[in-house]
Amino acid sequence: MAVSLPNGILIALATVYAAAKSVTILSNANPAVATAAAHGFAEGDFVEVTSGWSRLNGRVVRVGAVDTNTFELEGIDTSDVNLYPVGTGIGSVRQITAWQQITQVLDATTTGGDMQFATYSFLESDFESQLPTQSSAQSLTISVADDPALAGYQALRTASEQRTVRALRLTFPSGAISLYNGYLSFNETPSMTKNQVMACQGTFSLMSKPVRYAAPAI
């Protein structure tokens, strides 16, 4: 059993991506192994995955063990061929080459991500039953103390204006990391409540499930 505080969490937004590299083979394994000729990745790099496997498509993952033409997708288990049909997961990856820390974050909250259910009942029954369907859309909202001169503020504004999918990385004091991928909307009009710090809100609408690593790369 363990408890922790959010104090010290660092939040960073992906600002620069390398050109996409084709993945010609993606294995059914734990962890999954991708084949990309002369990929040039190093262990600990972060990549955005485009894949024929919908459960993997759009997720941001950390690169595990590497070889000249192959690399592991750390923490990604594709061994269940019912969920990840053999030979259909190929696509591409693009490396995140630069991050901008978002400073002066006051708080971060999440909404959605809960399981939804389809309900049904038989004529002879006097109660309803439920079947799980899918998770609801998930968002992460950060509140940032208002200062347009900050590089992080400017990065949020640019990402919002460009309306392109971006990665967001949360680094916890323990070294654990959470990775998100989605669209950012940034409200530049700050809150204005007497005796409270003025703050702007950035809402990150996820396009895929987040990826969590409990420890830093070795």
Express each pLDDT in 45-72 by its tens digit. Answer: 999 999 999 999 999 999 999 999 999 9
Taking residues 176-186, report their average pLDDT: 97
Taking residues 119-147, report their average pLDDT: 94
> What's residue 110's pLDDT?
94
Cβ contacts of 187 within 8 Å, gap of 6 or more: 200, 201, 202, 203
> What's residue 70's pLDDT?
97
Mean pLDDT of the chain: 95
- Terminal CA-CA length for the chain: 24
Hey, what CATH topology would domain 101-213 get?
Answer: Elongation Factor Tu (Ef-tu); domain 3 (2.40.30)
> What's residue 216's pLDDT?
74
User: pLDDT band at 218, cuts 50/70/90?
Assistant: low
Task: Encode 109-160 in three state secondary structure.
Answer: EEECCCEEEEEECCCCCCCCEEEEEEECCCEEEEEEECCCCCHHHHHHHHHH
Dist CA 139 CA 210 (whole Å): 11
> What's residue 139's pLDDT?
96
Dist CA 214 CA 77 (whole Å): 16
Dist CA 144 CA 199 (whole Å): 5
CATH H superfamily, domain 16-97: Ubiquitin-activating enzyme E1, FCCH domain (2.40.30.180)
Core vs surface per residue 124-160: b (16+ CB within 10 A) or e: eeeeeeeeeeeeeebbbbbbbebeeebebbebbbbbb
pLDDT digits (tens, 9 = 90+) for 77-124: 999 999 999 999 999 999 999 999 999 999 999 999 999 999 999 999
User: pLDDT band at 194, cuts 50/70/90?
Assistant: very high
Q: Are 177 and 213 spatial neighbours (Cβ–Cβ below 8 Å)? A: yes
Q: Look at strands 60-66 and 105-111 and give their pairing.
A: unpaired
| Residue 17 confidence (pLDDT) above 70 | yes
User: pLDDT band at 2, cuts 50/70/90?
Assistant: confident
For the chain, give every domain's residue range: 16-97, 101-213
E strand or H helix at 161, and its extent? helix 151-162
> What's residue 102's pLDDT?
97
| Residue 1 confidence (pLDDT) above 80 | no
Dist CA 214 CA 151 (whole Å): 28
Q: Are 94 and 131 spatial neighbours (Cβ–Cβ below 8 Å)? A: no
**What predicted TM-score, i.e. pTM, was given to this entire model?**
0.91
> What's residue 63's pLDDT?
97
Dist CA 197 CA 185 (whole Å): 21
| Joined tokens for residue 44 | 């600990």
Cross-strand bridge partners of residue 143: 107, 201
Taking residues 17-44, report their average pLDDT: 96
Of the chain, the percentage scoring pLDDT greater than 70 comes to: 99
Q: Are 21 and 93 spatial neighbours (Cβ–Cβ below 8 Å)? A: yes
> What's residue 215's pLDDT?
76
